[in-house]
A = this chain, B = another copy of it.
Amino acid sequence: MRFIILILFTLNLTAQNDAQVISEIYKNSLLNGKSYDWLDYLSNEIGGRLSGSVNAERAVKWTKSEMELMGLDSVWLQPVMVPKWVRGAPEFAYIERAPGITTNVNICALGGSVSTPLAGLKAQVIEVQSFEQLEKLGKDNINGKIVFYNRPMDPTLIDTFKSYGGCVNQRYEGAVNAIKYGAVGVIVRSMNLAIDDLPHTGSMTYGNVPVSQRIPSAAISTKDAEILSEMLKINKEIKFYFKQNCKQMDDVLSHNVIGEISGSEFPDEYILVGGHLDSWDLGDGSHDDGAGCVQSMDVLRLLKLSGIKPKRSIRVVLFMNEENGLRGGRKYAEEAFRKGENHIFALESDAGAFTPRGFYFEADENNFAQIQSWKELFKPYLIHFFELGGSGADIGPLKTKNNVLSGLKPDSQRYFDHHHSSSDVFENIHKRELELGAATMTALIFLIDKYGLASKIKL
């Protein structure tokens, strides 16, 4: 009986048009999606999973075993050496207005930072908004001090990723710039549009600065950044103390997790969907990027569940080490090019689990025009955003002249409340929003698989 129903269902689907298939995909995700339960496990049973950590390895093993249960054609691990940085004991910091008169503030070490001396670091603070201002102040004003980068995210931009993009150089290159002028430490305002107590970590670089000259760097919560700034206006002589004992270890072996459905007609054309499996350590990495991983896994499951037999090979890839190295993304592309695997399309979900609004595309004119022609199919699901723009860090290395890369674009208003902080946790995930994202991704993959790329066909 079940067999007959299945046959009828499949025959019926063949006759249906794209709109009906997409409707089926959304229904399956909202009724029978697995992304939420998977994310519950990944977030609550495993948790934060920084590259090289025990949790990262647990996440690799568990996602591989879940993929094996999905009945894919193949599932495997791709080895990759990753950096291992450990935070150590909780950080501690205060502002000292006068000896013994202190105000504790919330900080966290930036990923990749060196530790402070064992007893901590205390120095005067100089606040700047930009590297230009730093240069103007010069060595005379900066030498021996802690540089405090306090340029806030621009609240007037509608896309909060643009606000982030306008600030994140303070975090990433703050230390390497401050070192030039003799700074002894860096404190950076957290990349957060809300004013609250949470410090937000993230990666930083020392560039070519020798180990002996590196200075400790930490993020301070937005609320405490405002307090520090106010205090500095009253008294420039106040001191800032912070203590952290983070450490960069040797690289360790880790893995990208890969699953595949082989294409029935064009098995040598690959369509990739993925997210990154590693996360920062302060929360459980639910939005960044557990969501992208479970949505990507569910894309393959929802295709099956909706009776779709892909013509092309569909791969889900959970990349390791996006946050502090991008080693997984680079390794995957390196291997793909080495093997001559033709990746016609890659989609990454790495912008949170909020209500999906559409996609960014890296595509030529023909391909983009074809994709735009599908826009009407997404209208019933309130998916309206199809624009040219950056796709995703992990898939970036896969770009060729002809292929198309894409990034899911969810609503961005809440993302930086949680990003890289202790509030990036499962309770801040909304089940339906996550499922709508998975369905939207599946619908796009379905169309790309069915029609292939326009440029490839025409060229």
Using CB atoms and an 8 Å cutoff, list the residues of chain A in contact with chain B. Answer: 26-27, 30-31, 155-156, 158-159, 193-194, 355, 357, 380-382, 384-385, 411, 413-414, 430-433, 436
A155 touches B432 (CB 8 A): yes
A156 touches B31 (CB 8 A): yes
- Chain B hits for A158, CB < 8 A: 26, 380-382, 436
23 inter-chain pairs at a CB distance below 8 angstroms, sorted by A residue, are A26-B156, A30-B155, A30-B156, A31-B155, A31-B156, A158-B380, A158-B381, A158-B382, A158-B436, A159-B382, A194-B431, A355-B355, A355-B411, A355-B413, A382-B384, A382-B385, A384-B385, A411-B411, A413-B432, A413-B433, A413-B436, A414-B430, A414-B433
- Chain B hits for A432, CB < 8 A: 155, 193, 413
How close is A272's CB to chain B, nearest CB, in angstroms?
Answer: 27
**What residue in chain B is nearest A193 (Cβ atoms)?**
B432
How close is A145's CB to chain B, nearest CB, in angstroms?
Answer: 31
**What residue in chain B is nearest A417 (Cβ atoms)?**
B430
Copies in the assembly, this chain: 2
Q: In the docked arrangement, what's the CA distance between A382 and B155, Å?
A: 16
How close is A31's CB to chain B, nearest CB, in angstroms?
Answer: 6
How close is A393's CB to chain B, nearest CB, in angstroms?
Answer: 23
A26-B156, A413-B432 provided; 19 other pairs, C-beta below 8 A? A26-B158, A30-B155, A30-B156, A155-B432, A158-B380, A158-B381, A158-B382, A158-B436, A193-B432, A355-B355, A355-B411, A355-B413, A382-B384, A382-B385, A384-B384, A413-B433, A413-B436, A414-B430, A414-B433
Q: In the docked arrangement, what's the CA distance between A382 and B159, Å?
A: 9
Q: In the docked arrangement, what's the CA distance between A310 and B103, Å?
A: 49
Q: In the docked arrangement, what's the CA distance between A31 and B27, Å?
A: 40
Q: In the docked arrangement, what's the CA distance between A194 and B430, Å?
A: 10
Q: In the docked arrangement, what's the CA distance between A381 and B158, Å?
A: 6
Q: In the docked arrangement, what's the CA distance between A433 and B160, Å?
A: 12
How close is A428's CB to chain B, nearest CB, in angstroms?
Answer: 11
How close is A452's CB to chain B, nearest CB, in angstroms?
Answer: 28
Q: In the docked arrangement, what's the CA distance between A411 and B158, Å?
A: 15
How close is A52's CB to chain B, nearest CB, in angstroms?
Answer: 35
- Chain B hits for A430, CB < 8 A: 413-414
**What residue in chain B is nearest A29 (Cβ atoms)?**
B156
How close is A80's CB to chain B, nearest CB, in angstroms?
Answer: 36
How close is A414's CB to chain B, nearest CB, in angstroms?
Answer: 6
Q: In the docked arrangement, what's the CA distance between A181 and B302, Å?
A: 45
How close is A108's CB to chain B, nearest CB, in angstroms?
Answer: 23
- Chain B hits for A431, CB < 8 A: 194
How close is A403's CB to chain B, nearest CB, in angstroms?
Answer: 27
- Chain B hits for A381, CB < 8 A: 158
Q: In the docked arrangement, what's the CA distance between A381 and B385, Å?
A: 11
How close is A180's CB to chain B, nearest CB, in angstroms?
Answer: 34
- Chain B hits for A384, CB < 8 A: 382, 384-385
**What residue in chain B is nearest A158 (Cβ atoms)?**
B381
**What residue in chain B is nearest A357 (Cβ atoms)?**
B382
Q: In the docked arrangement, what's the CA distance between A436 and B193, Å?
A: 14
Q: In the docked arrangement, what's the CA distance between A191 and B414, Å?
A: 25
Q: In the docked arrangement, what's the CA distance between A366 and B161, Å?
A: 38
How close is A418's CB to chain B, nearest CB, in angstroms?
Answer: 12
**What residue in chain B is nearest A27 (Cβ atoms)?**
B156
Q: In the docked arrangement, what's the CA distance between A355 and B411, Å?
A: 8
- Chain B hits for A155, CB < 8 A: 30-31, 432
Q: In the docked arrangement, what's the CA distance between A432 and B158, Å?
A: 9
Q: In the docked arrangement, what's the CA distance between A430 and B155, Å?
A: 14
Q: In the docked arrangement, what's the CA distance between A380 and B432, Å?
A: 26
How close is A17's CB to chain B, nearest CB, in angstroms?
Answer: 19
- Chain B hits for A26, CB < 8 A: 156, 158
